[in-house]
Amino acid sequence: MVKSPARHLPYRGTTDRPELDRLIEGLRQADLTLDQPVLERTEIHKSHYMSLERDTIRTTSGNTADRDIVVHPGAVVIVPIDSEGHVLLVTQYRVPAGGALLELPAGTLDMHGDQIEDPLLAAHRELEEETGYRADKMERIGGFWSAPGFSTEYLHVYVATDLRTADHDRLAPDEDEELHLLRIPFAQAIEAAEQGVIEDAKSIAAILMLARRLERANR
Amino acid sequence: MVKSPARHLPYRGTTDRPELDRLIEGLRQADLTLDQPVLERTEIHKSHYMSLERDTIRTTSGNTADRDIVVHPGAVVIVPIDSEGHVLLVTQYRVPAGGALLELPAGTLDMHGDQIEDPLLAAHRELEEETGYRADKMERIGGFWSAPGFSTEYLHVYVATDLRTADHDRLAPDEDEELHLLRIPFAQAIEAAEQGVIEDAKSIAAILMLARRLERANR
């Protein structure tokens, strides 16, 4: 039996809340009762960092079915907050959206052979490449699949603080990655995420996750 | 010149906040200055509802580059809130995640030839198929791209209220779509989204968007 195409598996540990632990226990049982093992796998297309494969699975009810899956190494998304409480955002043209989007700095994990880059290192690298800043503090606050129906892309979310400009030896953006840097009050970014100005799921999720965290800490 | 593969374009209207309108004006300018027109397009693979295409684009700096793009019709995600303030969630096995995930009800827009299903109709259909409930009120609260770096999938977010059970003529889930229905207090879903129990970007973003809306309304 072929292994699942997942590069990252769902969280099955505990939390500090009994009612959340009960939800996780339910997911653990669903892993077994709803299991859909991969019976066969065909690689349909290989791109530079992602591939499209067709997995034949056994469905929960015992049939077989084909699933086309975008196998992706995973990525990081970073919420960089400076000493004045401003957040750094990037504006990028996105061909799949047919226009420019306002997003948090983010990027795909590098692959070296079968080895996937450490997400923490990738967060530092992407922050510097996309914003020109380095962070003395980089804290993971969560993670999520961007499109678990058809893609293995899992994003790790980091908050970057204690920022300083990367000087002469700064890592430059990838070739052909043109972006504009924007610095706005974090409160304004929260509004932009709520009011439809930010239309990128990872950025909305990460900004609102951090917003709640900060509000809880200030309570 | 081939059109962008986008099925949905970024929001370029106004809001009721001048500082957000300035951000949108910046995006409108970036549409022009960072533009990456598609010069050529090849369909690499066609799946039942999505296709993989290779677009050759002109980069902002004037080079040409290839982008592999998952062309997807778009989708809806629904936050169903019942009269007791509980939310309906679904547990589904996700092959790309290698396990079960806790998510909001959601689904892909149907395609009839070149015609894409109306998102509001899809929201009603998916709510009934996945939960067995119908909603007398279905309000759009936003939308986002799930993975704008490589996919055209845009998700419309709806809040469904005034729920009642769909009786004998209920729309059934798609064949091979096995899921468990879960009903928990909305406050607990917010915690699950914050604490890493919900690991699906669309569900985290939609739950936290609604949470802020409700908190603002109660202030």
Between B177 and B48, the more confident residue is B48
Contacts of B180 in chain A (CB under 8 A): 26, 30, 34
**CB distance A102–B27 less than 8 Å?**
yes
In whole angstroms, give the CA distance from residue A115 to residue A158: 21
Contacts of B191 in chain A (CB under 8 A): 17, 19-20
**CB distance B27–A147 less than 8 Å?**
no
Per residue in A151-201, pLDDT tens?
Answer: 999 999 999 999 999 876 777 766 666 899 999 999 999 999 999 999 999
Using only C-alpha atoms, chain B has a radius of gyration, in whole angstroms, of: 19
Which residue from A minimizes the CA distance to B108?
Answer: A149
Per residue in B107-160, pLDDT tens?
Answer: 999 998 889 999 999 999 999 999 999 999 999 999 999 999 999 999 999 999
Q: How many CB atoms lie within 10 A of CB A183?
A: 12
Residues 6+ apart with CB under 8 A from B187: none
In the predicted structure, residue A3 carries a pLDDT above the cut 80: no
In whole angstroms, give the CA distance from residue A45 to residue A67: 14
Q: How far is B53 from chain A (nearest CA, A)?
A: 10
Q: Give the angle B62-B64-B70 at the CA atoms, nearest 5°.
A: 125
Per residue in A116-161, pLDDT tens?
Answer: 999 999 999 999 999 999 999 999 999 999 999 999 999 999 999 9
**CB distance B34–A70 less than 8 Å?**
no
In whole angstroms, give the CA distance from residue A107 to residue B34: 19
Which pair of structure tokens corresponds to residue B67?
């982008």
Which pair of structure tokens corresponds to residue A144?
């999520």
In whole angstroms, give the CA distance from residue A159 to residue B93: 30
Q: How far is A117 from chain B (nearest CA, A)?
A: 19
For the purposes of burial, counting CB atoms within 10 Å of the CB of B205, is it exposed (0-12), middle (13-18) or buried (19 or more)?
buried
In the predicted structure, residue A23 carries a pLDDT above the cut 90: yes
Contact between residue A17 and residue B185 where contact means Cβ atoms under 8 Å apart: no
Q: How far is B200 from chain A (nearest CA, A)?
A: 5
State the greatest distance between any 2 C-alpha atoms of chain A, in Å, as a whole number: 60
**CB distance B59–A178 less than 8 Å?**
yes
Which residue from B minimizes the CA distance to A100?
Answer: B31
In whole angstroms, give the CA distance from residue A186 to residue A80: 10
Residues 6+ apart with CB under 8 A from A173: A129, A130, A179
In whole angstroms, give the CA distance from residue B1 to residue B24: 26
Per residue in B156-202, pLDDT tens?
Answer: 999 999 999 987 677 776 666 689 999 999 999 999 999 999 999 99
Phi, psi for B133 (deg, rounded to 5): -110, 155
**CB distance B208–A208 less than 8 Å?**
yes
**CB distance A96–B149 less than 8 Å?**
yes
**Interface predicted TM-score (ipTM) of this complex, two decimals:** 0.96
In the predicted structure, residue B60 carries a pLDDT above the cut 90: no
In whole angstroms, give the CA distance from residue B60 to residue B134: 47
Phi, psi for A106 (deg, rounded to 5): -160, 165
Per residue in B61-95, pLDDT tens?
Answer: 899 999 999 999 999 999 999 999 999 999 999 99
Helix (H, G, I), strand (E, B) or coil at A98: coil
Q: How many CB atoms lie within 10 A of CB A40?
A: 12
